[in-house]
């Protein structure tokens, strides 16, 4: 019985040619291009654009069969950083904040020229990370940006090629 179930399982997973074990659906796309995200936030972190670009490149090229190209790509991404905001949270007695929150928001346009039904335009993706108010943003900024961009890129990945 176990052998029959194993054969049936292998048959089903081999028959789903456009899906992978990671759930990626490329719809026949082979190439990808990302533009650097314009930084239109009122507060600008000069490294954020590069960090986002590098994280996108790493995620899409290493976890899919897509090849990066400079033009005529099957899939393209472009967008802008719309918010880079630090606010106090968890206000305690005496109106002192225990934590601050860094929130980053970006808008993304995704085009899949092989299957346009999954395209989206100016879709917002946002995430935040908290840090103790006793620390300066300068002391924790690089670490927080890494955490936040990984989460935002996860969400973009899922919304575009995983189709969640």
In this structure, is residue 9 part of a structural domain?
no
The whole-angstrom separation of Cα 141 and Cα 127 is 14
Tell me: pLDDT of 147 over 50: yes
In this structure, is residue 26 part of a structural domain?
no
pLDDT category of residue 156 using cuts at 50, 70 and 90 = very high
Q: What is the CATH number of the domain that holds 143?
A: 3.30.160.150
In this structure, is residue 147 part of a structural domain?
yes
pLDDT of residue 1: 54
In this structure, is residue 94 part of a structural domain?
yes
Task: Tell me the mean pLDDT in the region 113-117.
Answer: 92
pLDDT of residue 24: 83
Lowest mean pLDDT among 23-32, 36-45, 57-66, 138-147: 23-32
Number of domains in the chain: 1
Task: Tell me the mean pLDDT in the region 69-82.
Answer: 96
Contact by Cβ (8 Å): 101, 89: yes
Tell me which long-range contacts 57-63 makes (C-beta under 8 A, separation of at least 24): 59/153, 59/154, 59/157, 60/32, 60/34, 60/157, 60/161, 61/32, 63/22, 63/24, 63/157
CA-wise closest residue to 79 among 153, 129, 141: 153
**Domain enclosing residue 64, as ranges:** 31-160
In this structure, is residue 6 part of a structural domain?
no
Please spell the DSSP secondary structure of 86-133, one letter per residue.
EEEEEEETTTEEEEEEEEEEEEEEEEESS-GGG-EEEEEEEEEEEEET
Task: Tell me the mean pLDDT in the region 92-100.
Answer: 79
Contact by Cβ (8 Å): 29, 119: no
Q: What is the pLDDT of residues 2-41, one digit of tens each?
A: 444 343 433 333 334 333 445 688 888 999 999 999 999 9
Q: Around Cβ 34, how many Cβ atoms within 10 Å?
A: 20
In this structure, is residue 89 part of a structural domain?
yes
In this structure, is residue 17 part of a structural domain?
no
pLDDT category of residue 163 using cuts at 50, 70 and 90 = low
In this structure, is residue 69 part of a structural domain?
yes
Residue 85: partners with Cβ closer than 8 Å, 6 or more residues away: 41, 43, 102, 103, 104, 105
Task: Tell me the mean pLDDT in the region 51-77.
Answer: 95
């Amino acid at each position: 019985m176990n052998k029959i179930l194993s054969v049936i399982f292998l048959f089903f997973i081999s028959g789903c040619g456009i899906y992978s074990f990671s759930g990626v659906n490329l719809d026949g796309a082979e190439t990808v291009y990302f533009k650097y995200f314009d930084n239109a936030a009122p507060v600008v972190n000069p490294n954020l654009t590069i960090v986002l670009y590098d994280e996108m490149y790493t995620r899409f090229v290493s976890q899919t069969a897509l090849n990066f190209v400079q033009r005529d790509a099957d899939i393209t991404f472009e967008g802008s950083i719309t918010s880079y905001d630090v606010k106090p949270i968890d206000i305690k007695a005496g109106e002192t904040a225990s934590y601050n929150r860094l929130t980053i928001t970006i808008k993304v346009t995704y085009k899949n020229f092989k299957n346009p039904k999954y395209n989206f335009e100016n879709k917002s993706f946002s995430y935040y990370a908290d840090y103790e108010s006793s620390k300066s943003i300068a002391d924790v900024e690089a670490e927080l940006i890494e955490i936040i961009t990984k989460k935002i890129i996860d969400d973009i990945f899922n919304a575009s090629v995983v189709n969640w």
